[in-house]
Amino acid sequence: MSSAPASADVRGRRLIGLARIPIPIFGIVMGVLGLGLCWRYSGALFHLSQLIGNVILFAGAVLWACATAVQLVRLAVAPSVVCEELAHGIRGPLVAQKIIVLLLITEAAGPTFPKLAFALLVASTVLAVLATLWVLMRFQAAQHDRVLAPSWLVAPIALPFTSILYGADGDRAAASMSLGAGALVIATLLPRVLAGISTVTAAPAPIRPLVVISVAPLALIFIAYVQLAGIDGVAYGLLGATMFVVCLVLTTLPHWWRAPFGLPFWACGMPPAAVVLAVIELAEKLRTTATLTAAAISLGIITVIMTMLLIRTATALINGRLFPPA
């Protein structure tokens, strides 16, 4: 007789547990998919089997399906919590991670399922434009703030990403428009984000790793530009600016690498992977000893970073620290 209430109580606790899994969970999916793309394109660059990359991409697709299911359940059982998260000044803009994940899935599926990939690309483009407009409206309302959280860059990052995919499909017009729009928005927001790097210690320690998001925008703009125009002076300027931001972000490392581990550390996943993909793109175009060596070293570095993130995530999940009750 008492089994039914007990079962209901167990289901209730499980639903409450799901409600604690925030939107930034998609950062893990982005990191895994980004690593898979690095291995896929490195395999093509060095004439190696692409099996490793494809296996990682498949694992990322499975994680994406699980994360999406969790967030749909969460939206159904705790809509107020989700709304509060969207209104948050730091977590809110991270909802655009879902769009980046869709674009990564699109790129992963492109060679095997071209029609599905095109449909996902069109849908992702619409979502990227809407998310960027939403961020710009919030930006106008936050003009009094001196700096912006790096999470504000996630939505506009999607626009040069769509440009890369349109360029790969040979649609130069769509690629150029996406790149131009994304570059203008990023040029507006990135200086405000970089202005906060010098004051990173003023932020709570657990969210300081989000600063690593800053390395992705220029790297993706570089890749999109190279696909359209090739390697020229502008491309080298974009790559140099990317490396400058990487060095700037590295100066903050002593201030947060020992911070309590949480989802913000997954900012060290996809954004650095974007830089690695930029190096691989450079090596693909030039094929010099220096660029090929840089691509191989970059692949090794991102693989080590991702391995560490996965181990720390599994440890935190087992110990109950990844999704704390509060």
Amino acid at 127: L
Tell me the pTM.
0.91
**Assigned domain for 278 exists:** yes
Instruction: Find the helix or strand (DSSP H, E) in which 128 lies.
Output: helix 114-141
Look up residue 35 and give its two tokens: 């690593």
Percent of the chain with pLDDT over 90: 65
In whole angstroms, what is the distance from residue 127 CA to residue 195 CA? 28
User: For 83-92, what is each residue's pLDDT tens digit?
Assistant: 888 888 788 8
**Assigned domain for 96 exists:** yes
SS3 112: coil
Look up residue 195 and give its two tokens: 């202005």
Instruction: State yes or no: pLDDT of 127 exceeds 70.
Output: yes
Q: Which of 262, 260, 264 is nearest to 313 (CA)?
A: 262
**Assigned domain for 175 exists:** yes
User: For 261-299, what is each residue's pLDDT tens digit?
Assistant: 999 999 999 999 999 999 999 999 999 999 999 999 999
Q: What is the mean pLDDT of the chain?
A: 89
**Assigned domain for 323 exists:** no
**Assigned domain for 22 exists:** yes
Look up residue 102 and give its two tokens: 């869709």
pLDDT band at 314 (very low <50, low <70, confident <90, very high): very high
Question: How many domains does the chain fold into?
Answer: 1
Q: Which of 64, 65, 71, 99 is nearest to 85 (CA)?
A: 71
The dihedral sign for the CA sequence 103, 248, 263, 139: negative
Once rounded to an integer, what is the mean pLDDT over residues 91-96?
87
In whole angstroms, what is the distance from residue 134 CA to residue 99 CA? 14
pLDDT score at 10: 47
pLDDT band at 82 (very low <50, low <70, confident <90, very high): confident
Residue position matching structure tokens 């017009």: 173
**Assigned domain for 118 exists:** yes
**Assigned domain for 287 exists:** yes
Instruction: State yes or no: pLDDT of 216 exceeds 80.
Output: yes
User: For 35-75, what is each residue's pLDDT tens digit?
Assistant: 999 999 998 899 888 899 999 999 999 999 999 999 898 88
**Assigned domain for 325 exists:** no
With a CB cutoff of 8 Å and minimum separation 6, the contacts of 146 are 192, 195, 196
With a CB cutoff of 8 Å and minimum separation 6, the contacts of 91 are 22, 23, 24, 85, 151
Indicate which CATH number applies to the domain containing 107. Answer: 1.50.10.150
pLDDT score at 325: 58
Total number of residues shown for the chain: 326
Instruction: State yes or no: pLDDT of 142 exceeds 70.
Output: no
Domain of 128, in residue numbers: 3-318
Look up residue 86 and give its two tokens: 């969207």
